[in-house]
């Protein structure tokens, strides 16, 4: 008989559900497809404008990580969206729309709904796991993007809730992110699994008490944590954790 029964599973998005190496070039093309009919420009100009905007957004996120802050403001992603659009419009010397937030959100929703970047086999895996476990996302992405990605994959209905950094008002740079998920869902970490492609995120989840699984889909090599390199390995790996509790030796003192 198993010593532990897993009830809930939390999936990161990029590196677990979707392949960022496929998503990035699709974003560049779709940005052009959206903006050129409305505002002119070229595929190349919108790609360069988006690159500059993305660098500014990444820099802002890195500042949060470097500061060690446990939380982000409720309007953090709305500011990001406005900045993204403003930088691109400035690059093209365009007058920004009256409602920058609404135009940015409309563009991002249009784009995310059309991106197809899921890892081979992951949709099959989610369909297999959904009847047995309560599924959640746990991503640094905002919820509304996750919703469009998962709807496009045809698996949105299998998820109880989509936790993004906008819902938790936090990134994964501190344990607060993982503690907040426990507070909101009232899940028991001892009967829950976090799946992520970054060791530092997994370590924080482990320190809060979760079982963890390391995704190697993005190319990470196997380390100390339970690990999978092919999506179809995941269901059996999850079930194997139900009979083994290996968390204690990975916790930081």
Secondary structure in 3-state letters for 145-178: HHHHHHHHHCCHHHEEEEECHHHHCCCCCCCHHH
Strands 211-215 and 192-196: parallel
Quick: pLDDT tens for 63-108.
999 999 999 999 999 999 999 999 999 999 999 899 999 999 999 9
What pLDDT score does 172 carry? 97
204 vs 250: CA distance, rounded Å: 10
Architecture of domain 8-19+118-250: 3-Layer(aba) Sandwich (3.40)
Which residues of the chain fall below pLDDT 50? 1-2, 248-253
Domain extents for the chain? 8-19+118-250, 21-112
Provide φ and ψ at 172, rounded to 5°.
Answer: -85, 20
Nearest to 185 by CA among 168, 204, 202, 203: 168
Whole-structure pTM value? 0.92
3-state secondary structure of 189: helix
């Amino acid at each position: 008989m198993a010593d532990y029964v897993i009830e809930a599973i939390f999936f990161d998005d990029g590196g677990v559900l979707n392949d960022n190496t496929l998503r990035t070039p699709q974003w560049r093309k779709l940005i052009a497809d959206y903006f050129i009919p409305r505002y002119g420009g070229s595929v190349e100009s919108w790609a360069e404008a988006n690159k500059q905007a993305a660098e500014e957004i990444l820099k802002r996120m890195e500042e949060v990580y470097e500061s060690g802050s446990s939380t982000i403001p409720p309007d953090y992603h709305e500011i990001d969206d406005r900045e993204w659009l403003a930088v691109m419009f400035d690059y093209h010397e365009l007058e920004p729309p009256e409602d920058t937030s609404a135009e940015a959100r409309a563009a991002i929703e249009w784009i995310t709904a059309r991106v197809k970047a899921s890892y081979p086999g992951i949709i099959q895996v989610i369909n297999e796991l959904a009847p047995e476990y309560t599924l959640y996302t746990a991503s640094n992405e905002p919820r509304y993007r996750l919703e469009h990605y998962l709807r496009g994959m045809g698996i949105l209905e299998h998820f109880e809730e989509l936790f993004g950094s906008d819902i938790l008002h936090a990134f994964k740079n501190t344990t607060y992110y993982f503690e907040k998920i426990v507070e909101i869902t009232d899940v028991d970490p001892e009967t829950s699994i976090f799946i992520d492609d970054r060791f530092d995120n997994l370590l924080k989840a482990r320190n809060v008490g979760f079982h963890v699984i390391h995704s190697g889909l993005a190319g990470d090599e196997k380390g100390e944590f339970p690990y999978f390199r092919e999506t179809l390995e995941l269901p059996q790996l999850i079930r194997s954790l139900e009979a083994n509790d290996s968390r204690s030796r990975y916790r930081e003192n």
